[in-house]
Amino acid sequence: MLSNHRRDFLRAAGAAAIATAARPILGANDRVRVGIIGLGGRGNNHMNSYASIASCEVAGLCDVSQAARERGVALIEKRRGNKPKEYEDMRQMFDDKLIDAVSMATPNHWHSLGAIWAVQAGKDVYCEKPASHNIYEGRKMTEAARKYNRMVQIGSQSRSKPHTMKAVQLLKDGVIGKVYMAKGLCYKRRKSIGVTPPEPVPAGVNWDMFLGPAPMRPFTQNRFKYNWHWFWDTGNGDIGNQGIHEMDVARWGLGVDLPTHAVSTGGKYVYVDDQETPNTQIATFDYGDKQIVFEVRGIITGGESNFEPRGNNTVGVIFYGADGYMVLSGAGFTVYKGEDRQVAMEEKPSRADTQEHMENFLAAVRSRRHTDLTADVEIGAKSMELVHLANISYRVKRAIQYDPATMTIKNDPEASKLLTREYRAPYLITDKV
């Protein structure tokens, strides 16, 4: 009779073998056939980035909008000369053995479920940030990636930027002494989205598929194009949109895992419109001898700590240490030291695009080692847990005590309900992945 350990080992080995058979391991010179899911603003970036990489082929395009698919096909034909296959339903792409890997640029509420379905079908996955729409599904997404031995890269592009990697290493080496705080800044100008009334679903749009695991709602323009970020059904506010980039860098540079205490306050100020998520938010995460502070400002504002706005935006992370501080963003980093805060070091980025992050993903698809990924799903899901904790605290209007080991919030049933969601059949994430 098999022991439980032996039975679990054989089950896991069998699942991995099935997944590998579904998409054979590539040789070093083989071209990876990529399918792109979600062809809106970010999806357009995916198409152009993959089209610039000779080692892959954009073999398929998927979107709930027929018009978006047609525009995507025309773009790839112009850039690469081939005509990718079209899919309205991502499950059709997952079933297609001609697709090796998928790149997801869908709304947030689809990221985890789409990735889980993909790895179950034997596909490797590049998934835009954020990794998940809630904490539970981020955990299940990570579990599925490991179970089926798939490469899952989260679109936290800072993890592949040489100047950011250098800055984090300098922090670890003590460039500003003992680092005690990271402050993430998401001062990104967001104008009012106004009010858009319900209307008939446009021709050529699969609204049921767009909503997927989210509740069925009447179609409105604000819930469909980009502004889905500002509804709790489909988005996570700007802390989970732009802010997850800075949250990930803050956690990385500070060298911390998950917190046990989080508190967040703020509101949707000034505007009267359809937006549900806050446009002004402050969150604090306690690590004992260190802390992360995160701030969202969507209304006109200034910079902070030698961190001047670029246009109307101030986006990045400030690390504070015993001997000085470091300002780090996509525009480079600067180290200030001493009582007079003199510039001790600065560096500008060599590249500022997504392509290097995708190239890292494709290299791991060939090596079959998830440790080669600069932003493996476990990294992305953990950083997003901080965002979710902030939003949970904001929504219940109180501090929360969190146990990361058991994924529980202590003595707070109302907050605990927000660790997951009610999934709309058949778009379900279940305990068994």
Distance CA 259, CA 247 (A): 13
The bridge status of strand 291-297 relative to strand 280-286 is antiparallel
For residue 116, being part of any structural domain is answered with yes
What per-residue confidence (pLDDT) applies to 312?
84
Cα angle: 97, vertex 62, 367; to 5 degrees:
50
Does residue 360 share a domain with residue 398? Answer: no
For residue 132, being part of any structural domain is answered with yes
What per-residue confidence (pLDDT) applies to 11?
40
Q: How far is CA 380 from CA 154, 300, 363, in A?
A: 6, 30, 18
DSSP state of 370: G
Distance CA 347, CA 323 (A): 19
Q: Which positions ≥6 away from 52 have C-beta within 8 Å?
A: 79, 355
Domain housing 95: 4-158+355-376
Q: What is the pLDDT along the chain (433 residues), one digit of tens a residue?
A: 444 444 333 444 444 444 444 444 554 458 999 999 999 999 999 999 999 999 999 999 999 999 999 999 999 999 999 999 999 999 999 999 999 999 999 999 999 999 999 999 999 999 999 999 999 999 999 999 999 999 999 999 999 999 999 999 999 999 999 999 999 999 999 999 999 999 999 999 999 999 999 999 999 999 999 999 999 999 999 999 999 999 999 999 999 999 999 999 999 999 999 999 999 999 999 999 999 999 999 999 988 877 877 788 999 999 999 999 999 999 999 999 999 999 999 999 877 678 999 999 999 999 999 999 999 999 999 999 999 999 999 999 999 999 999 999 999 999 999 999 999 999 999 999 9
CB 90 within 8 A of CB 120: no
Phi-psi region of 122 (alpha: psi -120 to 50; beta: other; left: phi over 0): left
Distance CA 418, CA 401 (A): 14
How many independent structural domains does the chain possess? 2
Which domain CATH number covers 287? 3.30.360.10
Does residue 231 share a domain with residue 186? Answer: yes
What per-residue confidence (pLDDT) applies to 307?
83
Does residue 141 share a domain with residue 49? Answer: yes
Q: Which positions ≥6 away from 290 have C-beta within 8 Å?
A: 179, 180, 181, 182, 254, 256
Distance CA 276, CA 134 (A): 16
Does residue 204 share a domain with residue 285? Answer: yes
Does residue 274 share a domain with residue 220? Answer: yes
What per-residue confidence (pLDDT) applies to 21?
42
For residue 34, being part of any structural domain is answered with yes
Give 204's Cβ-side CA count (13 Å radius): 7
Cα angle: 75, vertex 76, 80; to 5 degrees:
125
Distance CA 224, CA 274 (A): 12
Does residue 59 share a domain with residue 141? Answer: yes
For the chain, how many helices (H) and strands (E)? Answer: 13, 16
For residue 144, count CB atoms less than 10 angstroms from its CB and return exposed for 0-12, middle for 13-18, buried for 19 or more: buried
Q: Give me the amino acid identity at 379.
A: I
Could you give the maximum distance between any two Cα atoms of the chain, in Å? 72
Q: What is the chain's length?
A: 433
For residue 227, being part of any structural domain is answered with yes
Residue (of 120, 112, 124) closest to 18 by Cα position? 120
Which domain CATH number covers 26? 3.40.50.720
CB 131 within 8 A of CB 28: no
Does residue 291 share a domain with residue 213? Answer: yes
For residue 335, being part of any structural domain is answered with yes
For residue 429, being part of any structural domain is answered with no
For residue 316, count CB atoms less than 10 angstroms from its CB and return exposed for 0-12, middle for 13-18, buried for 19 or more: buried
Does residue 91 share a domain with residue 64? Answer: yes
Does residue 274 share a domain with residue 238? Answer: yes
Indicate the helix (H) or strand (E) that contains 245. Answer: helix 243-254
56-62 sheet: strands from edge to edge: 85-87, 56-62, 32-37, 101-104, 124-127, 152-154
Does residue 205 share a domain with residue 120? Answer: no
For residue 426, being part of any structural domain is answered with no
For residue 406, being part of any structural domain is answered with yes
Distance CA 26, CA 117 (A): 21
- Residue 192 in tokens: 């009012």
What per-residue confidence (pLDDT) applies to 350?
79
What per-residue confidence (pLDDT) applies to 305?
77
What per-residue confidence (pLDDT) applies to 29?
53
Distance CA 210, CA 129 (A): 18
Does residue 136 share a domain with residue 98? Answer: yes
Does residue 326 share a domain with residue 200? Answer: yes
